[in-house]
Chains A and B, each alone.
Chain A
């Protein structure tokens, strides 16, 4: 009897719970039916039709179009005078003053720190043996072109850096008037030197492109970081893999920098602001990138490597240097039979055999 009652009570309680749960679910689900029916396309409510036809207030749409840069008519002649608002400028400002300056500046500082750390920890890359005999590495024309491009690049880099970082770095030192005097000189120098530099760079790149085609043995060079890891020197042709990497970085960066620079150089050709903003970002980022690359090149081509700079100065390099850094080219020049083909040269011959 008692058990029956409790089971009865339990049954009732269960029924109450189920009823409450079901009614809760239904009450929550019911309002959704309209949404589901609308979404599945079962019914088209009057509201839905209205929102299809007059999706937005036409006047709001009108000013939205203006905000989007829609051009009108202006009696004032000139470029883009009909545009009331151009939005690109704000983005350009944010990108230039933000990521381009920050990451570009950080990259240059990081490269300088890495080079300084390398020099302090490992010192310069020593010339293993100086034979006193020399090989002609660079023709007079190549040297003249190299130094012409190098000097103009440095001038362009300094003037370019002044425009992007001068306000933050130089104005506190020189004052506004002093910096403005320098910037007023830097800007035209940058603009007039640009094309002669681009011509020189193009010629230099074309002159050396054949010798910079990647070869299978370059991979070996890169894996050992030019002999920094492991024993001995990896094989290398006229340009070792490190130089080839520099070449292609300069090639890609140079194309971007030159094309964007040319675009920015001629405001008289009816260039519009949107493209100028875009090409300015390309120009400043590729410029900063190339400066970082050039710093690496300058270090490794001067104090970083013993015996390398004399080649670009006199055109002649020591045979010992050629054997150490450009073994395959050395073999080629010497016709395979090196006069000092003893122990130390064996490295070169063995690696030559691998190719």
Chain B
């Protein structure tokens, strides 16, 4: 089975926020909930870099480790999903997550947060695939339709890659070797005749 991964190429991301918009539109997430966001570092300074970040679907997911009701599960594709019927909105996943992925529809006095929402890698939730209940709670299930996450599909510069980790890594490795306008693998053209 594939192990799904996200990868954002900081050399390519132009901070257009297309991924954020695509995600919000695809899943009809409520106001204030952002499953994906673009962070720009050294904004306005030479060398600024932008990275699009959402749930990274960690292997040993901290959210799952601290959840008091154990509502997280990992699919065969390595996608970390959660069951909103079990979630009690305690916010522990939000404390634990390194990427700030868990989102809450409310944030009120007496710890009222509502049920947690986060990126599903466009793979829905525990409800039946592409059912109305799944759409309502978790958004579209593109993976069940054989498609990849919309954020990456819509990325104008293909900075954001999503899919099988090995394939994503291959694409990125190929980019690295050609970065700067010419091959950076000195001697390979001559030695391996473009076999690289």
Contact = CB atoms under 8 A, between A and B. Distances in A.
Interface of A: 62, 66, 70, 72-76, 78, 80-87, 89-90, 92-93, 96-97, 162-164, 166-167, 171, 176-177, 179-180, 183-184, 187-188, 191-192, 194, 264-268, 273, 276-277, 280
9 contacts: A73-B43, A81-B34, A90-B98, A93-B96, A96-B66, A97-B66, A179-B69, A265-B109, A268-B109
A265 B99 CA distance: 23
Contacts of A81: 34, 37, 39, 100
A7 to B, nearest CB: 68
Contacts of B71: 176, 180
Contact of A268 (B66, B85, B107): B107
A245 to B, nearest CB: 33
Nearest to A194: B110
Contacts of A268: 107-109
Contacts of B83: 176
A171 B20 contact: no
A75 B89 contact: no
Contacts of A179: 69
Q: Tell me which of B41, B66, B97, B113 has the highest count of chain A C-beta atoms within 10 A of its own C-beta.
A: B41
Give 7 closest A-B pairs by Cβ, nearest first. Answer: A76-B37, A72-B41, A180-B86, A73-B43, A89-B96, A191-B111, A191-B110
Given A80-B100, A163-B90, A268-B109, A74 B68 contact: no
A35 B95 CA distance: 47
Nearest to B87: A180
B70 interface: yes
A183 B112 CA distance: 14
A84 B96 contact: no
Contacts of A273: 94-95, 100
B129 interface: no
A85 B99 contact: yes
Given A73-B41, A84-B51, 5 more contacts: A75-B20, A78-B34, A81-B100, A84-B41, A85-B98
Interface size bracket, B side = 35 or more
A62 B108 contact: no
A73 B39 contact: yes
B38 interface: yes
B148 to A, nearest CB: 22
B17 interface: yes
Nearest to B49: A62
Given A90-B62, A92-B96, A280-B95, A167 B38 contact: no
B79 interface: no
Given A163-B68, A187-B111, A180 B39 contact: no
B6 to A, nearest CB: 13
Nearest to A271: B107
B89 A187 contact: yes
Contacts of A93: 62, 65-66, 96
A265 B90 CA distance: 10
Contacts of A75: 15, 17, 20, 37-38
A92 B87 CA distance: 20
B39 A74 contact: yes
Contact of A176 (B42, B43, B69): B69
Interface in B73-125: 83, 85-91, 94-100, 107-113
A252 B32 CA distance: 39
Nearest to A195: B110
A277 B86 contact: no
B53 interface: yes
Q: Tell me which of A83, A84, A90 has the highest count of chain B C-beta atoms within 10 A of its own C-beta.
A: A84
B91 A86 contact: no
A176 B90 CA distance: 16
Contacts of B40: 72-74
Q: Tell me which of A70, A85, A162, A280 has the highest count of chain B C-beta atoms within 10 A of its own C-beta.
A: A85
Contact of B110 (A87, A97, A166, A192): A192
A276 B92 CA distance: 10
Contacts of A97: 65-66
Contacts of B109: 265-266, 268
B22 interface: no
Q: Tell me which of B20, B39, B62, B94 has the highest count of chain A C-beta atoms within 10 A of its own C-beta.
A: B39
B111 A89 contact: no
B94 to A, nearest CB: 7
Interface string B57-70: 00000100111111
